[in-house]
């Protein structure tokens, strides 16, 4: 656990100050623009995924769940640092005039309640695994929806990250659904059946992708 926390802390420093994604545009995104809203909103959304993952990593869970939680925590903490670096370069604070995710339905975006977060500490390890997987599948579905909005930002670096989030979290949704089925838990409607490849964000429409990804 200490090793995971150390990696996360290092990623925040490295990626926040000098990592990939730090760039200066001729006309950087302005306050209230889609790119700025995406960076702020997704940072908050990612932060809860990291929080949920750190809670489950404190429990004696199975190796597959532990590996999933570690991957989510490290990947999303790195992306938090990347988006924070953008805001620094753009000369904008991490928080704007409006609260992050203002106007969004947080439940629809997969945000867990405080009670749900706490339940990961109090349920049995087996039930905590299922609860974590159920929370993360909803969280990822909300993240994919938010990232699809990021594809429309008009800023290539933002579009690149948004596309990566759509692809990776769509794949993880399929993985998590399989893990839930293995545990005899219900899987939300509308998810791929076992053996079905997850759909791409929009493989036929390259117009929504940044030029460097076509």
Q: How big is the chain, counted in residues?
A: 214
Cβ atoms < 10 Å from Cβ of 130: 18
Cβ atoms < 10 Å from Cβ of 38: 25
Residue 75 token pair: 């990947």
pLDDT in tens, 17-73: 444 444 444 588 999 899 999 999 999 999 999 999 999 999 999 999 999 999 999
**Can you tell me which residue has the tokens 């190796």?**
63
pLDDT in tens, 126-141: 999 999 999 999 999 9
Q: Measured between alpha carbons, how far is residue 169 from residues 10, 11, 102, 125, 173 in Å? A: 23, 20, 23, 24, 6
Helices (H), the chain: 2-17, 34-57, 63-89, 114-122, 125-150, 156-182
Q: Of 81, 82, 98, whose CA–CA distance to 31 is shortest?
A: 98
Predicted model pTM: 0.78
Of 198 and 140, the structure prediction assigns the larger pLDDT to: 140
Angle at 148 between CA 144 and CA 154, to 5 degrees: 145
% pLDDT > 70, the chain: 74
Name the band, by pLDDT with cuts 50, 70 and 90, for residue 100. Answer: low
What pLDDT does residue 107 have?
80
What pLDDT does residue 205 have?
41
Q: Of 194, 164, 159, 161, whose CA–CA distance to 176 is shortest?
A: 194
């Amino acid at each position: 656990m200490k090793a995971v926390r150390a990696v996360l802390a290092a990623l925040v420093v490295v990626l926040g100050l000098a990592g990939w994604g730090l760039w200066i545009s001729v006309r950087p995104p302005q306050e209230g623009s889609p790119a700025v809203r995406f960076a702020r909103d997704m940072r908050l959304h990612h932060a809860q995924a990291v929080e949920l993952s750190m809670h489950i990593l404190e429990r004696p869970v199975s190796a597959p769940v532990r590996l999933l939680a570690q991957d989510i925590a490290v990947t999303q903490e790195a992306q938090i640092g990347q988006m924070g670096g953008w805001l620094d370069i753009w000369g904008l604070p991490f928080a704007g005039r409006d609260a992050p995710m203002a106007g969004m339905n947080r439940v629809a975006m997969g945000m867990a309640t405080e009670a749900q977060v706490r339940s990961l500490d109090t349920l049995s390890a087996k039930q905590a695994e299922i609860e974590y997987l159920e929370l993360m599948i909803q969280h990822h579905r909300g993240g994919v929806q938010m990232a699809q909005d990021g594809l429309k930002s008009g800023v290539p670096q933002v579009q690149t990250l948004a596309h990566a989030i759509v692809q990776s979290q769509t794949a993880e949704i399929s993985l998590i659904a399989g893990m839930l089925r293995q545990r005899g838990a219900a899987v939300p409607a509308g998810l791929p059946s076992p053996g079905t490849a997850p759909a791409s964000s929009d493989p036929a429409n390259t117009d929504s992708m940044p030029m460097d990804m076509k």
